């Protein structure tokens, strides 16, 4: 009888046994936060994984600690149980240096009840003090001695996993797929300060309690990637931690979370900035918006908790004005009012995301740009420099994602910033480029097509 194919492999174990370190090792990159502080991982995280020629999805989980009903600990446990039920095989990590604990026994008992294939791994087995023999008492077979940090023992892990993933069922690594066959997802990051409802919004869009949520500020620490589809279009969500450094927990851990979020923004194509409709835009909201704009990402403003606002028209005007004055690069930003808790207005968000993505990728033909440039100068001529009018000779779109333009001038260094802003605003209005950063590069030189026309 052929072995059952294990496409989804979950890593579980008590806090600080090295689950996230092994996750990063199998994923081939640093995706999960790793820190000596127990309980860093709260949500479950997934990634494509490879071990030799084996290909599968690896799932990192929080612990299985008990907690009071409704507590953060209990909600974390529910996320881990959901990962176990969704997995085909379990990598159960124990700490070879710490030895067998009562918590390990409780975990083993739970795993036997779930009826999943379990591979027992004695992690941190690189030292002389490590002893994996004691773990035979768990009744889960012979433990694999492994060091996730140093990569020792992976061959033994391969031997244990190989029967579960037949060769003819193995999938090629994502990076090995020919570009023309790749149906690449739109990369979407959900950004915002603590407790504005980012994870609740993601759960509402997905239609399931995929992300850990609750009243506590800053629950999400990792930038969690989730694959999804909207109207047949592949989407990869990144639900992120907040983009600031906070003194709680440990300074090092918070910096890791901030770095993880910034990395998600750098890889994203569209960012949804979630703000709280019941509060004015704070300095932190504007700082996040500026970072998104500086990275050149398309942005959609999601105004959450809209059901709690009395004067909706005035509130919408105040929020848009505050954002556009605080971040001039985002004039005309698309704002979607919604309630992640009730679902009202959430259906408008993804169409706005796709529209913003289209604007971000828009290319304007060079002849249109230069006709527009002549008209813009006629309406508002460039300033005088040393008694002579500054000449703007030619313009072309150098790039997309975001729209980037090269402007050739007689003395580019003398063009005032105010006139550059004038041209940028006119570009945005004339060619319908709302809510995306527009970059304009000044170049000295002649119109490259002047001689061809002569």
Q: What percent of the chain has pLDDT over 70?
A: 72
Pairing of strands 224-230, 298-304: unpaired
Find residue 336's DSSP bridge partners: 302
4-30 residue pLDDT tens? 444 788 888 888 888 888 888 888 766
Are 22 and 148 within 8 A, CB to CB?
yes
* Domains parsed from the chain with CATH numbers: 8-176 (3.40.50.300), 183-360 (3.40.50.300), 366-453 (3.30.300.20)
Give the highest mean pLDDT range of 101-110, 299-308, 391-400.
299-308
Give the highest mean pLDDT range of 141-145, 245-249, 265-269, 450-454.
141-145
Higher pLDDT pick, 132 / 106: 106
Are 395 and 405 within 8 A, CB to CB?
yes
- The pLDDT of residue 264 is 67
380-402 residue pLDDT tens? 998 887 778 888 989 999 889 89
**pTM (2 d.p.):** 0.60
Higher pLDDT pick, 82 / 310: 310
Are 272 and 346 within 8 A, CB to CB?
no
Are 40 and 33 within 8 A, CB to CB?
yes
- The pLDDT of residue 165 is 67
d(CA 57, CA 378): 59
What does the pLDDT average to over 260-277?
Answer: 81
Per the listing, tokens 């023999």 go with: 133
Distances (CA, A) of 125 to 11, 24, 57, 95, 152: 17, 18, 25, 8, 8
d(CA 309, CA 322): 17
- pLDDT score of 104 more than 60: yes
- The pLDDT of residue 108 is 83
Summary mean pLDDT of the chain: 77
- Which secondary-structure segment (H or E) carries 404? strand 404-409
127-183 residue pLDDT tens? 655 566 778 888 888 888 888 888 888 888 888 888 876 554 434 333 333 333 346
438-451 residue pLDDT tens? 999 888 865 555 55
161-170 residue pLDDT tens? 888 765 544 3
Asked which of 46-55, 197-206, 260-269, 414-423 is least confident by mean pLDDT, the reply is 260-269
Structure-derived torsion over alpha carbons of residues 205, 210, 215, 217, reported in degrees to the nearest 10: -90
Q: The tokens of 229 are what?
A: 């589809």
d(CA 451, CA 429): 31
- pLDDT score of 253 more than 50: no
What does the pLDDT average to over 251-272?
Answer: 65
With 0-12 CB in 10 A as exposed, 13-18 as middle and 19+ as buried, what is 156?
middle
- The neighbour count for residue 240, using CB atoms within 10 Å, is 28
Per the listing, tokens 């700082």 go with: 287
State the alpha helices, DSSP H only, in 182-282. Answer: 198-206, 251-267
Are 206 and 253 within 8 A, CB to CB?
no
- The neighbour count for residue 263, using CB atoms within 10 Å, is 16
Asked which of 50-64, 240-254, 277-291, 311-325 is least confident by mean pLDDT, the reply is 240-254
Confidence band, pLDDT 50/70/90 cuts, at residue 430: very high
- pLDDT score of 34 more than 50: no
d(CA 297, CA 188): 10
Distances (CA, A) of 84 to 64, 73, 91, 188, 303: 11, 17, 10, 27, 35
């Amino acid at each position: 009888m052929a072995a059952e194919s294990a496409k989804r492999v979950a890593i579980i174990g008590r806090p600080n046994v090295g689950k996230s370190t092994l996750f990063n090792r199998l994923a081939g990159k640093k995706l999960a936060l790793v820190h000596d502080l127990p309980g860093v991982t709260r949500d479950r995280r997934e990634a494509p994984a490879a071990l030799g020629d084996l290909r599968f999805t690896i799932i990192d989980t929080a612990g299985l600690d008990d907690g009071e009903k409704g507590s953060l600990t209990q909600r974390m446990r529910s996320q881990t149980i959901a990962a176990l039920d969704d997995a085909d095989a379990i990598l159960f990590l124990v700490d070879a240096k710490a030895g067998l604990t009562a918590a390990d026994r409780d975990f083993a008992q739970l795993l036997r009840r779930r009826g999943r294939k379990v591979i027992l791994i004695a992690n941190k087995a690189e030292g002389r003090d490590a002893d994996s023999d004691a773990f035979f008492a768990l009744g889960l077979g012979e433990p694999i001695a492994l060091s996730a940090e140093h990569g020792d023992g992976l061959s033994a892990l391969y031997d244990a996993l190989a029967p579960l993933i037949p060769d003819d069922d193995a999938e090629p690594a994502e990076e090995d797929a020919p570009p023309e066959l790749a149906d690449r997802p739109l990369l979407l990051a959900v950004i915002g300060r603590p407790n504005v409802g980012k994870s609740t919004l993601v759960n509402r869009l997905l239609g399931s309690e995929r992300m850990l949520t609750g009243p506590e500020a800053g629950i999400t620490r990792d930038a969690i990637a989730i694959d999804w589809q909207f109207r047949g279009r592949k989407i990869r969500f990144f639900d992120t931690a907040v983009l600031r450094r906070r003194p709680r927990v440990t300074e090092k851990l918070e910096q890791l979370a901030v770095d993880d979020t910034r990395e998600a923004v750098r890889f994203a194509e569209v960012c949804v900035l979630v703000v709280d409709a019941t509060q004015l835009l704070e300095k932190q909201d504007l700082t996040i918006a500026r970072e998104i704009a500086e990275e050149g990402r398309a942005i959609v403003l999601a105004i959450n908790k809209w059901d709690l606002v009395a004067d909706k028209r005035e509130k919408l005007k105040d929020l848009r004005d505050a954002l556009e004055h605080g971040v001039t690069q985002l004039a005309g930003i698309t704002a979607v009012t919604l309630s992640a808790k009730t679902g009202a207005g959430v259906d408008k968000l993804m169409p706005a995301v796709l529209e913003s993505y289209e604007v971000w990728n828009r290319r304007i033909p060079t002849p249109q740009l230069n006709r527009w440039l002549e008209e813009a100068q006629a309406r508002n001529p460039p300033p005088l420099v040393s008694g002579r009018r500054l000449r703007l000779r030619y313009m072309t779109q150098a790039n997309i994602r975001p729209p980037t333009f090269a402007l050739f001038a007689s003395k580019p260094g003398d063009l005032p910033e105010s006139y550059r802003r004038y041209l940028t605003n006119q570009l945005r209005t004339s060619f319908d480029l709302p809510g995306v950063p527009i970059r304009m590069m000044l170049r000295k030189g002649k119109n490259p097509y002047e001689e061809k026309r002569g």
